[in-house]
Structure 1
Amino acid sequence: MADMTTDVLIIGTGPAGSACAALLSSYGIENMAVNRYRWLANSPRAHITNQRTMEVLRDLGPEVEAEAYMHATEQDLMGTNVFCESLTGEELGRIQTWGNHPNSRAEHQLSSPSKMNDLPQTFMEPLLFKTACARGTQARMSCEYQSHEADAEGVTTTILDRLTGKTFAVRSKYLVGADGGNSLVAEHIGVPIEGKMGVAGSINLLFKADLTAHVAHRPSVLYWVMQPGSNVGGIGMGVVRMIRPWNDWMAIWGYDIDGERPELTDDEAKKIIRDLVGDPELEIEMQSISYWTVNDAYATEMSKGRVFIMGDAAHRHPPSNGLGSNTSIQDAFNLAWKLAMVLKGQAGEGLLDSYNAERAPVAKQIVTRANKSIGEFGPIFEALGLIGHTDPDVMQANMEKRCESTDEAEAQREALRQAIAFKKYEFDAHGVEMNQRYRSDAVVADGQAEPGFEADPELHYQPTTWPGARLPHVWLYDGHGAKHSTLDLTKGGFALLTGLSGQAWADAAVKVAEQLGIKLSAYVIGPRQTLVDHTGDWARAREIGDGGCVLVRPDHHVAWRSGGASDTAQADLLRVLSAVLST
């Protein structure tokens, strides 16, 4: 006998779990979120927040998006990644990152209504959790998942109340495991995990210090410091990461994963920080010392029956590229609307199979990319003459050779410039963040071949209305002159976009929405209509004729499109939506 019942039980209240809860509550779905701790994130581990994630927050409401910007460090101050011998020492080079190069900035501004920013997990997580609870999520803190049993009708989950030491049972129709990189839910449903956990060891040193004089003139999120001989492997690379400008910081340092984990004292931690900064007298206020491992593993399946996993439970990787919390929140955006429509009887359970088909490839992609980015530091080390040596004096001398006026030094400088510039694949990989194209039964092909990429798909986003792709963002204007992103048109349901010659599609949408009992908003875009394409940007982006239509899912991805008008618009639309919704 269950002690409590709910529609969806979510294990974990990190970015994935809290986003899932907030979205479900926004859709009117009863849910409960369980957290084994007394409160939320106690360290600002995840921080890079890309445009796609901000679009999810925008979908939750303008007040949610606005509060995120209020707490975030803006894109301009994310600045340039700096490579140096210490913050006070010689700079080795820098690269404009996170959309701050003028060419990249233009691409960012054209591709989304939302802005990239730096929002530490200690701010993101409470924002999502607060939104969830304010909209109806039942939260249970200090409660730990123990096990579950799934059957044809639902899932019974055993939870330990860590305050009383007693267990209780929750009966739900679905269970979501957002319980992190050591997910018990993933283990208990036996999803296959490919790769390896614990490939390297790292230490986070959270501290406060005024570093304004060393960094304000070259704002950045990350300062990469190289001091040969000072740490694991002898290369001596550490990171000074900005948490808040310019007084709140984290130093990241490595340790030998094959040896005994060190237990640093505050004094030892301060010594590492002062060396990285290059100021032996720096006044430091230590906040915390924590240890973590670099992982290289992903789930090849993200669901089993009525149980789903998301976030770090499914993709376990280093923080390279800043993909962790972003992908976690986007997992939730993909699954939540599907759960909501199934629970409301608007879709068949087959719709839920598309979550695995669409998000498991993303898990593999981002784990592969994040670990590849670590390896791409190699050319920098090689250009500096750090590879193949263990003597720090030799390594330091090799670094200094680049300052000579010889042919060899000129070649070394060029190699270093190219190696640093190549790190755009980690620090400005807009395509990795935005080019996800889904293939599943929740997408209906239109018979057109998938468009190729005109530029490197890891670096550059290519908008397309090809079914499965994210709807291109353009600004449309209402009768009062206010602008609206195309992405805003799907809020809380499906949307159909057509032109003046496609009125039949709009009329059909109204009838099909009533037949299926779903929210399907139809927009005729053109002169004297509710939305006008004054700039012509939508006409250029839509890739269909004026009499065609683009059908968009609640998560902004194109479900289907028609190139032109149809004499059987209602039947066509009913067929497509019935397939997408598995009804």
Structure 2
Amino acid sequence: MNRLADNAERVPVLIAGGSLVGLSASLFLGRLGIGHLLVEKHPRTSHHPRGRGNNIRTMELFRTAGVESAIREAASVLADNHGILQTPSLTGTEGHWLFREMDPGGKAARISPAGWCLCSQNDLEPVLLNAAQELGGDLRFSTELISFEQDAEGVTATLLDRRSERRSTVRADYLIAADGPRSPVREALGIGQSGRGELFHNVSITFRAKRLADAVGDRHFIACYLTNPEADGALLPVDNQESWVFHAPWHPERGEPLEAFDDERCARHIRTAVGMPDLEVEITGKAPWHAAERVADHYSDGRVFLAGDSAHEMSPTGAFGSNTGIQDAHNLAWKLAAVMGGWAGPALLETYGMERRPVAQATSARAAARSAEHSHPGYSAPATEDRGPQSNVMAVAMGYRYVRGAVAGADPSAPAVPDHFTVSAEPGSRAPHMWVHRCGVRLSTLDLYERTCVLLTGPGGAAWHEAGRRAADALGVPLDCYRVGEGPDHELAPEPGTDWAELHGTAPDGAVLVRPDGFVAWRAERSVPDPEAAMTRALREVLRLEA
């Protein structure tokens, strides 16, 4: 053990970075009862409106974590904004919708208890912060991780309080690096990155313009791509009234300095882009950002794990980056809790990168293709890039799957992100949503998946139900077992017209084992002669328990 650790503050998990992914990791660990310390070098949560698209899968995770309603309340001002508009200006009659509705026909309601949510990062982060603190999380802003060392038993980190300049030492069992795309932790570990690198650059400009809402009218878009060749860019509403964000192309590769974006130039660019030369524009803030396609070559080194932008960078088109990062944190949290709780082997943590890295590789490629499809301002896509419609966002948001890792029986040849989304209970896929009643209370099957593995069986699955209990007890694994069907012997009653077995791809006497993160770990399509032995093998394989 490092000598600095002798007098160090001790915590089970140290999180470096307090933006969306770090705060989500804190929330998820808090829900699982894992003590942790989060440090963030900035003095407060983000004040810049960005990273606003929270997809259905992310909202399912936040639903399970108990913050969905608070997030929707924080996002209420943009609740009626839909679609992406592309037009030469806001004052002409040209232009068209790249898409008009996020969920045309209400299809999402049939596959999920949650839905898309347009909540900007500056509104979302305080919700996550408050929820994490209420769960007992220790979150310290104006505190920076400046160095760390690890050994076989843990990580010793040196922290700097940026207000007092005081240094302190923390000893943690594990370190989560959610410290952004320029991750000092990743750099210190010497972990390289793969991918196409930088794609394009923008300057995000926040501004006030009271008359702009008149030009927008009832076109309450999520974003508007303005295509005037003299001043292109992307316009995003903040309050649909007078506060807005404009993404202006920036070309540092041509020697263009950031200082060139003074208030006068920014205001002139916005007026030209929207087609209102006399619009009064008050610039309130500017922040550069870089779109890139990079994925870390490894997601962990010993007891240190990368999550979010430290693990992957991708184009913001489609809001895939922040969602992928939040889902990283969710995948890692239950595995840390299982290993620290003693009901999974240490090798379970190796499956984090095994599962998440292929998803990031596929998703970053889809994000770049979507930028090409939308002709994102500032992006000159290579001629070889697919510019065809990438409309099946659901395949990325909901269809990603784990073909290797903490699963048993997954198809190793299946892509991490399919071309199309279909509801499935195949091992490695997201478990299906189904409305059921438990003790008179209506809930989704997804609401069952958080703290333990769950075994679901159908009307003919009594043998699996008992075998699961016996196998879990023998292995010391917490397992919630539910029988789905009518009558007093069944804990979950399906709603009329639903068929549990059909939805989960089994016979009535089959069984499905679901992980705490809501992914199918293993499936038995029908009964077998020795269900307890089958359950024991499945739990051992999934949780990396030694025989």
> Shared fold (TM-score greater than 0.5)?
yes
Structure 1 494/545 Cα, relative in aligned 2: closer, same or farther at 3 Å? Answer: same
Structure 1 residue aligned with 2:144: 144
Letter in 2 for 1:77: D
Q: Aligned partners of 2:377 and 2:125: how far apart in 1?
A: 35
One of 358, 361, 365 as aligned partner of 2:358: 361
Give the drift of 1:197. 4.3
Structure 2 residue aligned with 1:512: 471
Q: Aligned partners of 1:465 and 1:318: how far apart in 2?
A: 30
The answer to whether 1:488 aligns with 2:440 is no
Pairing 1:89-104 to 2, within 5 Å after superposition: 89-97=92-100, 99-102=102-105
More divergent stretch after superposition (342-351 vs 71-80): 71-80
Structure 2 residue aligned with 1:549: 511
One of 317, 325, 328 as aligned partner of 1:328: 325
Q: What SS class does the counterpart of residue 175 from structure 2 fall into?
A: strand
The answer to whether 1:209 aligns with 2:209 is yes
Q: Kindly provide the CA deviation profile for residues 219-248 of structure 1, in whole angstroms up to 9, marking residues without a partner as x.
A: 2111111112x2xxxxx4311112232332
Pairing 1:48-87 to 2, within 5 Å after superposition: 48-61=53-66, 64-73=67-76, 77-87=80-90
Contact 2:225 2:377 in 1 (8 A): no
Structure 1 302/379 Cα, relative in aligned 2: closer, same or farther at 3 Å? Answer: closer
Give the drift of 1:196. 4.9
Count of aligned positions: 528
Q: Kindly provide the CA deviation profile for residues 163-200 of structure 1, in whole angstroms up to 9, marking residues without a partner as x.
A: 22232211111111000010011111122201354442
Give the drift of 1:28. 1.0
Structure 2 residue aligned with 1:468: 428
One of 480, 483, 488 as aligned partner of 1:521: 480
Structure 1 residue aligned with 2:346: 349
Q: Aligned partners of 2:283 and 2:324: how far apart in 1?
A: 31
Structure 1 289/435 Cα, relative in aligned 2: closer, same or farther at 3 Å? Answer: same
Q: What SS class does the counterpart of residue 320 from structure 1 fall into?
A: coil
Structure 2 residue aligned with 1:582: 544
More divergent stretch after superposition (75-84 vs 115-124): 75-84
Letter in 2 for 1:179: D
Structure 1 residue aligned with 2:492: 531
Structure 1 580/452 Cα, relative in aligned 2: closer, same or farther at 3 Å? Answer: closer
Unaligned runs of 5+ in 1: 231-235, 388-418
Structure 1 54/531 Cα, relative in aligned 2: closer, same or farther at 3 Å? Answer: same
Q: Aligned partners of 1:491 and 1:311: how far apart in 2?
A: 21
Q: Aligned partners of 1:306 and 1:379: how far apart in 2?
A: 39
Q: Aligned partners of 1:320 and 1:556: how far apart in 2?
A: 26
Q: Kindly provide the CA deviation profile for residues 436-466 of structure 1, in whole angstroms up to 9, marking residues without a partner as x.
A: 11023410107x797899xx944x4211111
Give the drift of 1:32. 0.4
Q: Kindly provide the CA deviation profile for residues 134-188 of structure 1, in whole angstroms up to 9, marking residues without a partner as x.
A: 1121112111122211111111112222122232211111111000010011111
Q: What SS class does the counterpart of residue 86 from structure 1 fall into?
A: coil
Q: Kindly provide the CA deviation profile for residues 263-311 of structure 1, in whole angstroms up to 9, marking residues without a partner as x.
A: 2222222212222222223233322011122222111321111110000
Q: Aligned partners of 1:267 and 1:34: how far apart in 2?
A: 37
Give the drift of 1:360. 0.6
Structure 1 449/500 Cα, relative in aligned 2: closer, same or farther at 3 Å? Answer: farther
**Alpha-carbon RMSD:** 2.5
The answer to whether 1:540 aligns with 2:502 is yes
More divergent stretch after superposition (552-561 vs 217-226): 217-226
One of 528, 533, 540 as aligned partner of 1:571: 533
Structure 2 residue aligned with 1:291: 288
Contact 2:352 2:405 in 1 (8 A): no
Contact 2:14 2:38 in 1 (8 A): yes
Q: Kindly provide the CA deviation profile for residues 444-498 of structure 1, in whole angstroms up to 9, marking residues without a partner as x.
A: 107x797899xx944x421111100010112123453x43211112231111111
Give the drift of 1:313. 0.5
Q: Aligned partners of 2:426 and 2:307: how far apart in 1?
A: 26
Q: Aligned partners of 2:360 and 2:188: how far apart in 1?
A: 19
Q: What SS class does the counterpart of residue 41 from structure 1 fall into?
A: coil
Structure 1 380/169 Cα, relative in aligned 2: closer, same or farther at 3 Å? Answer: closer
One of 270, 275, 279 as aligned partner of 1:273: 270
Contact 1:463 1:472 in 2 (8 A): yes
Letter in 1 for 2:354: A
Structure 2 residue aligned with 1:397: none
Letter in 2 for 1:185: V
Q: Aligned partners of 1:566 and 1:523: how far apart in 2?
A: 19
Q: After the TM superposition, which parts of structure 1 deviate over 6 Å for at least 4 consecutive aligned residues?
A: 448-453
Contact 2:232 2:273 in 1 (8 A): no
Unaligned runs of 5+ in 2: 382-386
Q: What SS class does the counterpart of residue 456 from structure 2 fall into?
A: strand
The answer to whether 1:439 aligns with 2:434 is no
Give the drift of 1:36. 0.5
Letter in 1 for 2:285: S
Structure 2 residue aligned with 1:415: none
Contact 2:178 2:309 in 1 (8 A): yes
Structure 1 303/268 Cα, relative in aligned 2: closer, same or farther at 3 Å? Answer: same
Q: What SS class does the counterpart of residue 78 from structure 1 fall into?
A: coil
Contact 1:335 1:355 in 2 (8 A): yes
Q: Aligned partners of 1:575 and 1:220: how far apart in 2?
A: 51
Contact 1:239 1:253 in 2 (8 A): yes
Letter in 1 for 2:32: Y
Structure 1 450/301 Cα, relative in aligned 2: closer, same or farther at 3 Å? Answer: closer
The answer to whether 1:240 aligns with 2:240 is no
Pairing 1:400-439 to 2, within 5 Å after superposition: 422-425=388-391, 429-439=393-403
Q: Aligned partners of 2:519 and 2:30: how far apart in 1?
A: 21
Give the drift of 1:578. 1.5
Q: What SS class does the counterpart of residue 91 from structure 1 fall into?
A: coil
Give the drift of 1:76. 6.6
Contact 1:201 1:291 in 2 (8 A): yes
Structure 1 35/451 Cα, relative in aligned 2: closer, same or farther at 3 Å? Answer: closer
- TM-score using structure 2 length: 0.91
State the percentage of identical aligned residues. Answer: 34
Give the drift of 1:5. 0.9
Give the drift of 1:42. 2.1
Letter in 2 for 1:152: A
Contact 1:146 1:158 in 2 (8 A): yes
Q: What SS class does the counterpart of residue 289 from structure 2 fall into?
A: strand
Pairing 1:452-463 to 2, within 5 Å after superposition: 457-458=418-419, 460-463=420-423
Letter in 2 for 1:10: I
